[in-house]
Amino acid sequence: MAKITTATLLKMKQQGKKISTITAYDASFAKLFDQAGIHAILIGDSLGMVLQGQDSTLPVTVDDMAYHTQCVKRGVEDTLIIADMPFMSYATKEQAFTSAAQLMQAGASMIKMEGGAWLNDTISALVERGIPVCAHLGLTPQSVNVFGGFKVQGRENDKAQQMIEDAKALETAGAQLLVLECIPSALGKAISQALTIPVIGIGAGKDTDGQILVMHDALGIACNYMPKFSRNFLKDTGDIKAAVELYISEVSAGNFPGDEHIFN
């Protein structure tokens, strides 16, 4: 497999090919996912919940993220590596520069930030300095206390329209990828069609340009609960690499997510 870049993902969107993404936090799983042909790996601040046993992503630090990014980098040859910017690590532009530099130096090829159009200036400044940005809208876990829990976002017409406008603004600011989490399927489709950049969904329906899952959910080993939008691919295969290959093929064929995994 040729080395995957942001240009690769953009070309896939233009050709109507689905993008498969998964989280990883260490070299062993990263190597397995890379060899299976996954297009991108996210070192998610989800590690706070699935690795550290926290009840949210908020306690995760930039140092935590950098450590796990270094681990993943050592296992990857071709897959694009994206690292989450954790809670309050980009409250100011200067803080964002420092945090992003640490994650890029640890091995990331792109960083991910949660938030709407208020991030525009920061994204533009990061891109100007050579740091590719993935934006994240919908259920943004770092805002869980504002939302009052992990709830589907964008069901009201005004909030859906605001999310579409935010997505367009983030693209204009320079974001090269967008993650949509826990939103109605129709809204996921509308945003994917409105943008030139690839849109990756997690609980955002089947009409986004690709899918991402937390690896613990995709392998049925989450310690808390199995989200509605996930599927245990290990149960279908009995082998981890085969499970990831099935996930990739099911996304590529448009079979995952199924109707049972989406929000209306």
| Residues in Cβ contact with 70 at an 8 Å cutoff, skipping those fewer than 6 apart | 106, 107
CA–CA gap between residue 70 and residue 55 (Å, rounded): 24
CA–CA gap between residue 252 and residue 250 (Å, rounded): 5
CA end-to-end distance (rounded Å), the chain:
36
CA–CA gap between residue 235 and residue 222 (Å, rounded): 13
114 marked among binding-site residues: yes
94 marked among binding-site residues: no
Dihedral angle computed from the Cα positions of residues 131, 180, 55 and 63, in that order, rounded to the nearest 10 degrees: -10
Which of the residues 77, 94, 128, 181 is marked catalytic? 181
Tell me the one-letter amino acid at 171.
E
Please say if 245 is a catalytic residue.
Answer: no
166 marked among binding-site residues: no
250 marked among binding-site residues: no
26 marked among binding-site residues: no
Point out the residues that are catalytic: 181
Q: Please enumerate, by residue number, every residue annotated as part of a binding site for 3-methyl-2-oxobutanoate.
A: 45-46, 84, 112
Q: Please enumerate, by residue number, every residue annotated as part of a binding site.
A: 45-46, 84, 112, 114
Q: Please enumerate, by residue number, every residue annotated as part of a binding site for Mg(2+).
A: 45, 84, 114
